[in-house]
Amino acid sequence: MALPNVILFLTDDQGYGDLSCMGTTDFRTPHLDRLAAAGARFTDWYSNSPVCSPSRAALLTGRYPGNAGVRAILAGHRTATGLPPTAPTLATALRPLGYDTAMFGKWHLGHRIHHLPTRHGFDTYFGIPYSNDMDYKPRGEPPIPLMRNEIIVEQPCVQDTLTKRYTEDAVRFIERNSKHPFFLYLAHTMPHIPLHVSEAFRGKSKRGLYGDVIQEIDWSVGQILEALKRLKLDKKTLVVFTSD
């Protein structure tokens, strides 16, 4: 039996009811609604932590945050620590089975070289290493960096374009790996504040900038679902969407 592909979407600080299928009426999420209708909705599920780093550590390791070595929010200054190099992740578990692995988006499990996604089982990484508000100079935090693998490619990153660029990279990854199993972890920076959205979605919802941001995330999911269908991978791929 062929191994299934796995795609894990994680949004940052999205509200429980902030999808059309979960009750909102002032913006539209047709792609996520369709995903929910065709699959299972887990309406009594809780993140292991109400803050970014511990919740991500738990999600990726399957451990409680303390047991994963990440008990609090990791800062953006140079003395911050991160997920221990020995901590197992979904990526390190799947790679030995022949999976290609990629992470796009907000990591927030350590920004030093030995804490980056590429040191935790991901073949490919493109995104920001911590929260998009961690650029406060009095705390010693530099402008938000955008990284490709272990290299900073833009600083400060242009946050209005992040959702679009993550999505484009994710689609290219799927296209490159359509002939063998892959694990794709897409952790959107949004809707963590400060909110940013591309020009194509600005002013399009009835709930202002927040609604615009969620509609762009819905578009992102739609682009990836369309790529799966186009490549005849939709029946071979497990897709999970959640928020912290």
Catalytic residues: 52, 108
On whether the CB atoms of residues 225 and 234 are closer than 8 A, the answer is: yes
On whether the CB atoms of residues 27 and 207 are closer than 8 A, the answer is: yes
* φ and ψ at residue 185, rounded to 5 degrees: -110, 110
Amino acid identity of residue 184, one-letter, is L
| Burial class of residue 199 in the structure, from the number of CB atoms within 10 Å of its CB (0-12 exposed, 13-18 middle, 19+ buried) | exposed
Sign of the CA dihedral running 83, 84, 85, 91: negative
Residues in the chain: 244
Rounded Cα distance between 127 and 145, Å, is 8
Place of tokens 């292991």: 48
Q: Which residues contact 60 (CB under 8 A, 6 or more apart)?
A: 83, 89, 90, 91, 109, 120, 185
**In the Cβ-directed half-sphere of 239, how many Cα atoms lie within 13 Å?**
22
